[in-house]
Amino acid sequence: MASQSTTVENQWISKRFLFGTKLPIVYEPVHEKPIENFTDWIRTHQKEWREDLKNHGAILLRGFPVHEALDFQSILYATEEKNLGEFYLGTSPRDQVVKHVFTASELPPHYPIMQHAEMSFLDNPPKLLFFYAEKASEFGGETPLTDLREVYKEIDPKIIKKIETFGIRYRRRYDGPSKKSRFSLWKTKRWDEMFGTTNLEEVKKIADQNRFQLEWFGKDSLTITNEQSGFRIHPEANTIAWHNHSQTFHHQAAVSEVWKIVKRQKTIRSLGVAILLTLLTILKRLAGQKSHDVHVTYGNGEEISVNEMKSISDVFWKHMVAFPWQTGDVLIIDNFSVSHGRLPFTGPRRILVGWSD
């Protein structure tokens, strides 16, 4: 992949773009310096990097001496963000590494993770999202990015109108602690893992704070329903972005994704996954929406059709940029403007994550 555009010299940090697109902007050191010099730079150049983040949506920090989770966390501290994440109310299975740093996802390597803004189904999703490539994979495993402001402009106006009118409704079903395994095919974690507790009063409290409606069923299984507007206005830039989890929660989304991945990765495994997932999705569709463990509809309960979902996926893939990770890379994402996902990979890979509310 060729890197393009001009290099802008600014003291000891240079800036450039990958792919000739403006997402992400890449910062690289011109001279080798210890991590402390870089965290000082982040701390003292708030206006400059925040302006770049606002305009481009993501900054890739490449070539800095970020060797472990604590170095990464020192960058999070240097941003002086007030509320660094410690409690994760999202859908991926994650492990805490140090106070504000988690593994990005413990989902198996062949699972694709579709484009989404982090925790967009919450009233207050993270403002900034940080990834760190502790170990880049040998093949695949990119964290593709998409500018959600561009997506909003290009989605079929009929879909935009329906979301404007009705919003988006999510319904997710989770097993409880009586089920020992961490994830099944259509479920990514258990509710006790998500809420971080088995105390039902505590679960109810967190649910109320987030406007989640809870319905218990079976031994200790749980259905969570909630609604969101589906778009979000950037608190500082005032721009509007597509901001919902239709891409990850709709049964059609994964199928559209895996066939696009077959074209991109051209591997036997991706073809196998695509065929298997297509068959399973047909069975799932035949079983009806009541059988879906995650389900997304318009806010009035109307289904988002398969064709509508395909058209949404096409817009994402048109604007998506995917660059191979290099070990030591750090990525800062404006979660109100840019979505992320994960392509399947082989070989060892460890990507860590942090965020600020």
- Least distance from C-beta 159 to Fe ion, angstroms? 23
- Least distance from C-beta 274 to Fe ion, angstroms? 22
- Least distance from C-beta 113 to Fe ion, angstroms? 7
How many residues contact Fe ion, by CB under 5 A? 1
Residue 89 or 160 with smaller CB distance to Fe ion:
89
Give me the 298-327 binding string for Fe ion, x by CB under 5 A, dash otherwise.
------------------------------
Residue 41 or 329 with smaller CB distance to Fe ion:
329
Closest residue to Fe ion in the complex (CB): 118
End-to-end CA distance of the chain: 34
Residue 71 or 118 with smaller CB distance to Fe ion:
118
Residue 242: both structure tokens together: 């597509």
Report the 10 Å Cβ neighbour count for 317.
16
- The DSSP result for 296-322, as a single string, is EEETTSPBPPHHHHHHHHHHHHHH-B-
Residue 121 or 152 with smaller CB distance to Fe ion:
121
Are the CB atoms for 45 and 10 separated by under 8 Å?
Answer: no
Quote the DSSP letter at residue 65. Answer: -
Quote the DSSP letter at residue 242. Answer: E
- Least distance from C-beta 4 to Fe ion, angstroms? 28
Please state, in angstroms and rounded to a whole number, the distance separating the CA atoms of residues 246 and 297.
8
Residue 118 or 257 with smaller CB distance to Fe ion:
118
- Least distance from C-beta 323 to Fe ion, angstroms? 17
Residue 239: both structure tokens together: 């721009």
Please state, in angstroms and rounded to a whole number, the distance separating the CA atoms of residues 181 and 174.
12
Give me the 92-121 binding string for Fe ion, x by CB under 5 A, dash otherwise.
--------------------------x---
Residue 118 or 293 with smaller CB distance to Fe ion:
118
- Least distance from C-beta 228 to Fe ion, angstroms? 16
Report the 10 Å Cβ neighbour count for 215.
11
Q: State the pairing for strand pair 58-61/25-29.
A: parallel
Residue 85 or 230 with smaller CB distance to Fe ion:
85
- Least distance from C-beta 65 to Fe ion, angstroms? 26
CA distance to 16, 30, 109, 321, 335, per residue, from 21 (Å): 10, 22, 28, 8, 18
Residue 102 or 195 with smaller CB distance to Fe ion:
102
Q: Is the alpha carbon torsion for 188, 192, 194, 196 positive or negative?
A: negative
- Least distance from C-beta 306 to Fe ion, angstroms? 24
Site for Fe ion in 113-172 (CB under 5 A): 118
Q: Given the rule CB under 5 A, which residues bind Fe ion?
A: 118
